[in-house]
Amino acid sequence: MKTYLECIPCFLRQAIECARLAGLNEEDQKRVIDRVAEQIPKFPLSSSPPEMAQEIHRIVRDVAGSKDPYRAVKEICNQKAAVVYEGLKDIIKKSDDPLYAALTYAIAGNIIDYGIKGAIDVSEELSAIIALLNETIAGQEERIFNYRAFRETLEKSTTILYLGDNAGETFFDRLLIEELLKISEGRKITFAVRGGAVINDALREDADIAGISGIVPVIDNGSDAPGTILEDCSENFVKIFNDADMIISKGQGNFESLSGAGRDIFFLFMAKCEIVTRDMDCSLKDVILFNHAPALRV
């Protein structure tokens, strides 16, 4: 996805938010803003939003003097997600279509705001999210929730690359991966994390904490962008990306950076900003399972 003019004020808004989350005082927040502002002319609209976001978060980390200022936030997300994991696994097992159920929980994991909530609140919020998801998805199957195509592609795929998004969300990714393994038994699923800390995006240690590393191979993509910018990823990652029969991509950052990629990808995310809804021709908060298949496009 290209960068729209409206993304630029939003970059600065995010920079302030992240500088605060990293515990910077007002003076240092202004230093972040000034350095981000200096970068703006260097990014043409043809670059994808995660390219600029990568630079923003490098600046935040530099000013904060920390390689991973959100580590504590990620730990909290991991702990809270861990508490609900077993209960959700049971719910999925008992559902009529466990793969479909696991898919909705994988999206719920992307939406949930752990904030200052306790375990009970997280459970309650999840129920509310799932009810909303089922309502949103209803009737949109053909347009923006391509479940049938997802299932068909899955059944005929031998190698699957699953691109993770945030820490905590990884527990929900594990729920989906466990279902994928049941359907594509004997097939190889690889879970990918970022190559370097950026916001609350999952790193290898988060995949470890969620127990994903115990069931499928985990690789990092070699990049610290909050998305998947192929030119910035390691050769090893790009080879696995190109060779995979199926790619499942979680989160808006991965969508923004890969929507122009020349291969089939299943994007799984909630549309969280007006610009993405324009690009996807959907509504805000729509739940997307989008079969991006450039070869099939006119």
By CB under 8 A, name the binding residues for a copy of itself: 5-6, 8-10, 12-13, 16, 26, 29-30, 33-34, 37-38, 40-41, 44-45
For the four alpha carbons of 184, 186, 191 and 192, in that order, the dihedral sign comes to negative
CB of 34 to a copy of itself, least distance (A): 4
Helix (H, G, I), strand (E, B) or coil at 96: coil
* Strand-pair category, 265-270 with 246-250: parallel
In the complex with a copy of itself, the residue whose CB is nearer, 69 or 164, is: 69
* Strand-pair category, 265-270 with 287-292: antiparallel
Distance CA 218, CA 146 (A): 26
Distance CA 68, CA 115 (A): 18
List residues bridging with 128 in a β-sheet: none
What is the token pair recorded at 61?
A: 């980390």
Closest by CA position to 248, among listed 142, 113, 117, 153:
153
* Dihedral class, residue 281 (left if φ above 0, else alpha if ψ from -120 to 50, else beta): left
In the complex with a copy of itself, the residue whose CB is nearer, 45 or 183, is: 45
CB of 106 to a copy of itself, least distance (A): 31
CB of 46 to a copy of itself, least distance (A): 11
Distance CA 285, CA 107 (A): 11
List residues bridging with 201 in a β-sheet: 166
List residues bridging with 41 in a β-sheet: none
In the complex with a copy of itself, the residue whose CB is nearer, 26 or 96, is: 26
CB of 251 to a copy of itself, least distance (A): 23
Q: How many other CB atoms are there within 10 angstroms of residue 132's CB atom?
A: 14
Q: What does residue 168 show for φ and ψ, rounded to 5 degrees?
A: 90, -55
CB of 170 to a copy of itself, least distance (A): 31
In the complex with a copy of itself, the residue whose CB is nearer, 44 or 186, is: 44
In the complex with a copy of itself, the residue whose CB is nearer, 52 or 102, is: 52
In the complex with a copy of itself, the residue whose CB is nearer, 22 or 133, is: 22
In the complex with a copy of itself, the residue whose CB is nearer, 9 or 139, is: 9
CB of 276 to a copy of itself, least distance (A): 18
Contact 133, 151 (CB under 8 A): no
CB of 83 to a copy of itself, least distance (A): 35
8-state DSSP, 109: H
CB of 24 to a copy of itself, least distance (A): 11
In the complex with a copy of itself, the residue whose CB is nearer, 6 or 135, is: 6
